[in-house]
Chains A and B, each alone.
Chain A
Amino acid sequence: MFRYLFMLAQETTFRSRSLDKMKSILDNCGFSYLWSFQNTSPNIKSIIKQRLEDQFTQSWSGKCNFIDDLSITIKIKVVVIRAPINSPGSKVKMSALRVLVGCKRVIDYAVKIRVKPDKTGVVTDGVKHSMNPFDEIAIEEAVRLKEKKIASEVIAVSCGPKQCQETLRTALAMGADRAIHVNIDPKDYENLQPIHVSKFLAKIAQDEKADIVIVGKQAIDDDCNQTGQMTAALLDWPQATFASKVEKNNGDLTVIREIDGGLETIKVKLPAVLTADLRLNEPRYATLPNIMKAKKKPMASKTPADLGVDVTSRLEIVSVEDPPVREAGQKVESVEDLVTKLKDAGLV
């Protein structure tokens, strides 16, 4: 069937919208490899296996235990597929867009992560923190939109303990106009989930009348990759995830998305939620004069209660463990030995 579809796709005359839709479904499910390699790779079986492991075992199956989260997951999926085609339109201002950017404070990418001895989490005390790199890209994109006069104001939001204000200062130094800190008790923060952050972001987006919400595609600490999607779902806005290029055309955004095996160009109506992928831009350095100026920019502080969000966790962390240590390899004398070993291990 795939082969048939692929042939159809190759024939431009037969190219239909439903086929594209089919492809995008595949992309969103992480099966693009299948699409591109279907008549070249002889090893479809292993690719499917790999994909299944990657996409489902790792990121979704953990959530399946919780019906609450699962329903959101399904909702997200639906929105992902529908958004480009028929997004719920609303009144769009032609200029002066307001951009809301989420930025998370995470352990710096260069720090070696250590698991706490009691296995409840990772060591964060006295560890260097910085802004999530994908959120830096999001801020940069927002600031560039402002520099291109597409956006009028950039608002940075961070949810977490008091130290998040440092992250917000960095965002302000990079060019955000003002910041909102959602102050969360360190105890609650340990179990804060993307769903909570999405609720904060959605509420603030409505309060501040934001037109675009940009967040990083995922945070490098928990790798959840959920916040942007959930925010879009909660707001019932279209979403453009994994953006690698954003342009504005007559009140719509044309977004190029990075998908497995290629790029996808979609058009979203505003207001919309974007998530930034790695190649969207190269974030600037916060210059020292701008850091100095950032001290004078306004920063509001809010509590979860102000925003009417219940932060009690529905997840319980059972155990956090180090990844298994990679076992040492073996040297073999000849090709025959290698083949025998592979056969013994059931790999060939």
Chain B
Amino acid sequence: MWSRTSYTLRYFSKDKLFSSNKHIVRLQRRKASSGSIQKADLDDKEITQTSQSGEYIQKALKPKTNDPFVKNLFLGNFDKDALIYPELTKEQLDDINQLVQPIERFFDEVDSKTIDEKAKIPDDVLQQLKDLGLFGQQIPEEYGGLGLNATEFARLAEITALDGSISVTLAAHQSIGLKGILIAGTESQKQKYLPKLATGEHVAAFCLTEPSSGSDAASIQTRATLSEDGKTFHLNGGKIWISNGGIADVFTVFAKTEIEKDGEKVDKVTAFIVEREFGGVTNGKPEDKLGIRGSNTCEVHFDNTPVPIENVIGEVGGGFKVAMNILNSGRFSMGSSGAGVLKKMMGLVAEHATTRAQFGQYLSEFPLIKEKFARLAITTYVMESMAYLTAGTLDAYEQPDLSLEAAIVKIFSSEGCWVCANECLQILGGLGYMKDYPYERLLRDGRILMIFEGTNEILRMFVALQGCQHAGKQLKDLVKKLRNPLANPGLFFGTLKKRMMSDPLKPALKLHLDEEVHPSLKMYLALFSCFPIDLDD
């Protein structure tokens, strides 16, 4: 709840139209000066003039791609512009609030307890979700969807997350199930599949995991063989733990195909759009799970399923990249959905703590309980902030590179959810353990977050390896030039000088913090930057 307040101040403050523009203009300026902006035909002056009309800037001047902040940390660069929090205009804010209202009301009435007990989302609830338009949130309007941007999507996720089963059903459908078509599909694939998926007439599922391959996605056994006429693939194999597996009509399936590379025949992963109608698609009974029990998870088998060659997503043999892109693009919303649940939970727990008395005082007066609440608020606030920061940056660029940021959001939020839900149960004591109350269900539902969409261990490796790879590419270039000092004397001596002058224990502060503070503090910061504080003193 506290996080909500500060968040309201920060993010949903109403008269920030100007500052929002300022942010974009600043971004623009930076890009323009660093030369990485694609539409470089606009100089600073022009940008300042057009900043009067924010819309123009956002639509027409969306820069192509960003300098990846986390990746650049691996090079020792801290991009100060990442400290500017992306804000919405008043109009965008009103639009989002308008969308939020009916969904909030709908979720007030969803009976999560029964969904959990019966392990099924009732058909009428599912139909209402489809009618509300929640199955096509990120599908562009021309294909019958809502065309929400990342920020709007994240905001709605805060509410849909209140029921874990519904949230996972929706996520399996649109965050991964149909994402392949959305980001890598051809125009005709989009036109054929997206309109029906947007209305929820068709439900989508994402089929990657197999009995023998989970995190190691490249080791899948399902095989697609091309027919002799070269027009159809025949799909054989079994997939397990497929969310929506029993209710889906359209599957994004990953299978090994034989392709020729340098004269040799090698097996590569390819992504396919498979309709249940194609035949040979069967599914097992829904799995009985610890949490998110209402979501439909089951085995899906393909027995000689014919898939026309037009239904390949991306290139034949390019499926692994498609899978990674799909998974990378859906993760950021886990921060807001986690925060949504935690905010709700904290409200309920705070009520308990302020009314339950032991030893003659309310629980909320005990220092140990207070500390728990402080930690809850901090974690929730961080989760929410990082989710909307990532979403806001995603919206500001045409092809944003935020895979590490999204992975970090997922790791932090899933673990934050688990720790916080656990602490909430601890504050509640015995009450939290009872099935009559929602808390134990929220704890069980939240456990899956650390496992699916890439386990947190895999994602940690991903962050480390991707970061190192990014740094490696850049440094490789530098090393190559340094090996030949005669061709690049300037660079050689420059680097040498830098190495000689700098003390690795006292790195110079080059963030120019003095530009950011109140003029009265400028002098002190200049001192601070020039003479790094020696911690030994």
Partner-B contacts on A (CB < 8 A)? 130, 166, 169-170, 173, 285-292, 295
Residue contact B94 to A288, C-beta cutoff 8 Å: no
Across the A-B interface, the 4 shortest Cβ-Cβ residue pairs: A288-B133, A285-B102, A289-B133, A286-B102
Since A166-B98, A286-B102, A289-B136 are in contact, a sample of 9 more A-B pairs with Cβ atoms closer than 8 Å, ordered by chain A residue number, is: A170-B101, A285-B132, A287-B131, A288-B102, A288-B132, A288-B133, A288-B134, A288-B146, A291-B102
Secondary structure type dominating chain B contacts: helix
Q: How far is the CB of B526 from chain A (nearest CB, A)?
A: 41
Q: How far is the CB of B88 from chain A (nearest CB, A)?
A: 15
Residue contact A288 to B106, C-beta cutoff 8 Å: no
Q: How far is the CB of B355 from chain A (nearest CB, A)?
A: 16
B80-112: CB near A (< 8 Å → 1, else 0) gives 000000000000001101110111011000000
Q: How far is the CB of B10 from chain A (nearest CB, A)?
A: 15
Bound: A246/B144 CA distance, A: 35
Tell me if B67 is interfacial: C-beta within 8 Å of chain A.
Answer: no
Q: How far is the CB of A291 from chain B (nearest CB, A)?
A: 6
Question: Given the complex, which residues of B lie within 8 Å of A292, measured CB to CB?
Answer: 141, 146-147
Question: Given the complex, which residues of B lie within 8 Å of A169, measured CB to CB?
Answer: 98
Residue contact A287 to B101, C-beta cutoff 8 Å: no
Residue contact A287 to B141, C-beta cutoff 8 Å: no
Q: How far is the CB of B419 from chain A (nearest CB, A)?
A: 30
Question: Given the complex, which residues of B lie within 8 Å of A288, measured CB to CB?
Answer: 99, 102-103, 132-134, 137, 146
Bound: A288/B134 CA distance, A: 7
For residue B91, which residue of chain A has the nearest CB? A295
Residue contact A130 to B131, C-beta cutoff 8 Å: no
Question: Given the complex, which residues of A lie within 8 Å of B103, measured CB to CB?
Answer: 288
Residue contact B97 to A166, C-beta cutoff 8 Å: yes
Return 14 A-B CB contacts under 8 Å, by A number.
A166-B94, A170-B98, A173-B98, A285-B128, A285-B132, A286-B101, A287-B132, A288-B103, A288-B132, A288-B134, A288-B146, A291-B98, A291-B102, A295-B95
> Contacts A285-B106, A287-B132, A292-B141 known; A130 to B146 CB distance under 8 Å?
no
Number of interface residues of B (CB under 8 A): 21
Bound: A171/B105 CA distance, A: 16
Question: Given the complex, which residues of A lie within 8 Å of B137, measured CB to CB?
Answer: 288
Bound: A16/B105 CA distance, A: 48
Bound: A301/B106 CA distance, A: 31
Interface residues of B in 122-146 (CB under 8 A from A): 128, 131-134, 136-137, 141, 144, 146
Q: How far is the CB of B41 from chain A (nearest CB, A)?
A: 32
Which of A166, A170, A287, A295 interacts with B133 by CB under 8 Å? A287
Question: Given the complex, which residues of B lie within 8 Å of A166, measured CB to CB?
Answer: 94, 97-98
Q: How far is the CB of B54 from chain A (nearest CB, A)?
A: 17
Question: Given the complex, which residues of A lie within 8 Å of B95, measured CB to CB?
Answer: 295
For residue A108, which residue of chain B has the nearest CB? B101
Question: Given the complex, which residues of B lie within 8 Å of A286, measured CB to CB?
Answer: 101-102
Bound: A285/B146 CA distance, A: 16
Bound: A182/B106 CA distance, A: 30
Bound: A295/B95 CA distance, A: 9
Question: Given the complex, which residues of A lie within 8 Å of B102, measured CB to CB?
Answer: 285-288, 291
Question: Given the complex, which residues of A lie within 8 Å of B105, measured CB to CB?
Answer: 285
Bound: A169/B147 CA distance, A: 19
Question: Given the complex, which residues of A lie within 8 Å of B101, measured CB to CB?
Answer: 130, 170, 286
For residue B145, which residue of chain A has the nearest CB? A289
For residue A285, which residue of chain B has the nearest CB? B102
Interface residues of B in 223-246 (CB under 8 A from A): none
Question: Given the complex, which residues of A lie within 8 Å of B94, measured CB to CB?
Answer: 166
Bound: A291/B99 CA distance, A: 7
Question: Given the complex, which residues of B lie within 8 Å of A285, measured CB to CB?
Answer: 102, 105-106, 128, 131-132
Question: Given the complex, which residues of B lie within 8 Å of A173, measured CB to CB?
Answer: 98
For residue A165, which residue of chain B has the nearest CB? B94
Q: How far is the CB of B396 from chain A (nearest CB, A)?
A: 22
Q: How far is the CB of B386 from chain A (nearest CB, A)?
A: 26
For residue B133, which residue of chain A has the nearest CB? A288
For residue A173, which residue of chain B has the nearest CB? B98
For residue A110, which residue of chain B has the nearest CB? B108
Q: How far is the CB of A102 from chain B (nearest CB, A)?
A: 20
Question: Given the complex, which residues of A lie within 8 Å of B131, measured CB to CB?
Answer: 285, 287
Question: Given the complex, which residues of B lie within 8 Å of A287, measured CB to CB?
Answer: 102, 131-133
Q: How far is the CB of A179 from chain B (nearest CB, A)?
A: 14
Bound: A170/B146 CA distance, A: 16
Bound: A173/B95 CA distance, A: 12
Q: How far is the CB of B92 from chain A (nearest CB, A)?
A: 12
Bound: A169/B94 CA distance, A: 10
Bound: A166/B132 CA distance, A: 19
Bound: A6/B193 CA distance, A: 68
Bound: A11/B111 CA distance, A: 50
For residue A174, which residue of chain B has the nearest CB? B102
Q: How far is the CB of A107 from chain B (nearest CB, A)?
A: 14
Q: How far is the CB of B412 from chain A (nearest CB, A)?
A: 29
For residue B95, which residue of chain A has the nearest CB? A295
Q: How far is the CB of B195 from chain A (nearest CB, A)?
A: 12
Question: Given the complex, which residues of B lie within 8 Å of A291, measured CB to CB?
Answer: 98-99, 102
Bound: A166/B97 CA distance, A: 9
For residue A169, which residue of chain B has the nearest CB? B98
Residue contact B97 to A289, C-beta cutoff 8 Å: no
Bound: A89/B292 CA distance, A: 61
Question: Given the complex, which residues of A lie within 8 Å of B134, measured CB to CB?
Answer: 288
Q: How far is the CB of A92 from chain B (nearest CB, A)?
A: 35
Q: How far is the CB of B194 from chain A (nearest CB, A)?
A: 14
Q: How far is the CB of B309 from chain A (nearest CB, A)?
A: 33
Bound: A285/B99 CA distance, A: 11
For residue A131, which residue of chain B has the nearest CB? B101
Bound: A285/B100 CA distance, A: 11
For residue B106, which residue of chain A has the nearest CB? A285
For residue A294, which residue of chain B has the nearest CB? B98
Question: Given the complex, which residues of A lie within 8 Å of B132, measured CB to CB?
Answer: 285, 287-288
Q: How far is the CB of A101 from chain B (nearest CB, A)?
A: 18
Bound: A286/B146 CA distance, A: 14
- Highest count of chain B CB atoms <10 Å: which of A286, A288, A295: A288
Q: How far is the CB of B173 from chain A (nearest CB, A)?
A: 15
Q: How far is the CB of A317 from chain B (nearest CB, A)?
A: 27
Q: How far is the CB of B4 from chain A (nearest CB, A)?
A: 12
Q: How far is the CB of A294 from chain B (nearest CB, A)?
A: 8
For residue A163, which residue of chain B has the nearest CB? B94
Bound: A173/B141 CA distance, A: 16
Bound: A173/B105 CA distance, A: 15
For residue B147, which residue of chain A has the nearest CB? A292
Bound: A285/B128 CA distance, A: 9
Q: How far is the CB of B104 from chain A (nearest CB, A)?
A: 10
Residue contact B106 to A289, C-beta cutoff 8 Å: no
Q: How far is the CB of A125 from chain B (nearest CB, A)?
A: 11
- Highest count of chain A CB atoms <10 Å: which of B105, B133, B134: B133
Bound: A287/B146 CA distance, A: 10
Q: How far is the CB of A127 from chain B (nearest CB, A)?
A: 12
Question: Given the complex, which residues of B lie within 8 Å of A289, measured CB to CB?
Answer: 133, 136, 144, 146
- Highest count of chain A CB atoms <10 Å: which of B97, B98, B103, B134: B98
B510-531: CB near A (< 8 Å → 1, else 0) gives 0000000000000000000000
Question: Given the complex, which residues of A lie within 8 Å of B98, measured CB to CB?
Answer: 166, 169-170, 173, 291
Bound: A170/B97 CA distance, A: 11
Q: How far is the CB of A109 from chain B (nearest CB, A)?
A: 11
Question: Given the complex, which residues of B lie within 8 Å of A130, measured CB to CB?
Answer: 101
Bound: A173/B137 CA distance, A: 17
